């Protein structure tokens, strides 16, 4: 079960298999290793990277944090769980801190999205009124006469598309 380098590669995946499992590609994995974000568990004598299958979970977290707009450097810091316990691994407290920080980011983003959807709904409602009106806003003025007279501003999301 050991190869000639003396390292047991059972249960480890070559980069291609790991990439398929994780839904990413070779270039990205090599780049993440360069940044110290996700390193292979070992290398063969010929330089082949070998990954633990459980590291797909780590990669998944990186991907989800990227969707929130964090840079890879910020992600590395957030996931590094800086304090290390007596066994060399992260402490319970540091892991909790990292998870709570992520939850805060998610909650903030949720609030933004809810606000944006509400604005879109308002814009669509107003657009329904516009459909029954014989005026159209134009880029140059951003108001139609009827709305201008009663002081109702055009919703921003309509202004964005009519100009």
49 binds DNA (CB under 7 A): yes
89 binds its own copies (CB under 8 A): yes
> Which run of H or E residues covers position 30?
helix 26-34
What proportions of the chain, in percent to the nearest 5, are helix, strand and coil? Answer: 55, 5, 35
Among residues 11, 48, 106, 161, which is the contact residue for DNA, using CB under 7 A?
A: 48
53 binds DNA (CB under 7 A): no
From residue 67, alpha-carbon distances to 7, 24, 85, 105, 151 in Å are 36, 14, 30, 11, 40
134 binds its own copies (CB under 8 A): no
| Residue 147 interacts with, from its own copies, DNA, none (CB under 5-8 Å by kind) | none
147 binds its own copies (CB under 8 A): no
| Contact call for residues 42 and 50 (beta carbons, < 8 A) | yes
110 binds DNA (CB under 7 A): no
DSSP 49: E
- CA 57-61-62 angle, to 5 degrees, is 115
The candidate with the shortest Cα–Cα distance to 127, out of 161, 88, 94, is 161
96 binds DNA (CB under 7 A): no
Number of residues that bind DNA (CB under 7 A): 24
Cβ contacts of 88 within 8 Å, gap of 6 or more: none
Instruction: Output 42 or 148, the one with its CB closest to DNA.
Output: 42
Q: Which one of 18-26, 27-35, 134-142, 144-152 is the stretch in contact with its own copies (CB under 8 A)?
A: 134-142
Instruction: Output 15 or 162, the one with its CB closest to its own copies.
Output: 162
Q: Which residues bind DNA (CB under 7 A)?
A: 3, 9, 14-17, 25-28, 30-32, 35, 44-49, 66, 71-73
């Amino acid at each position: 079960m050991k190869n000639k380098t003396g390292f047991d590669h059972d249960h480890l995946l070559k980069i291609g298999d790991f990439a398929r499992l994780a839904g990413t590609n070779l270039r990205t994995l090599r780049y993440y290793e360069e940044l110290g974000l996700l390193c292979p568990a070992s290398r063969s004598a010929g330089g082949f990277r070998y990954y633990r299958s459980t590291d797909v979970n780590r990669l998944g977290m990186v991907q989800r944090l990227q969707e929130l707009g964090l840079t890879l450097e910020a992600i590395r810091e957030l996931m590094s769980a800086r304090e290390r316990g007596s066994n060399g691994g992260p402490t319970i407290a540091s892991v909790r801190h990292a998870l709570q920080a992520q939850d805060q980011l998610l909650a903030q983003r949720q609030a933004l999205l809810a606000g944006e959807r509400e604005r879109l709904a308002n814009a669509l409602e107003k657009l329904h009124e516009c459909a029954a009106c014989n005026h159209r806003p134009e880029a140059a003025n951003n108001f139609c006469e009827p709305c201008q007279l009663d002081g109702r501003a055009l919703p921003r999301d309509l202004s964005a598309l009519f100009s």
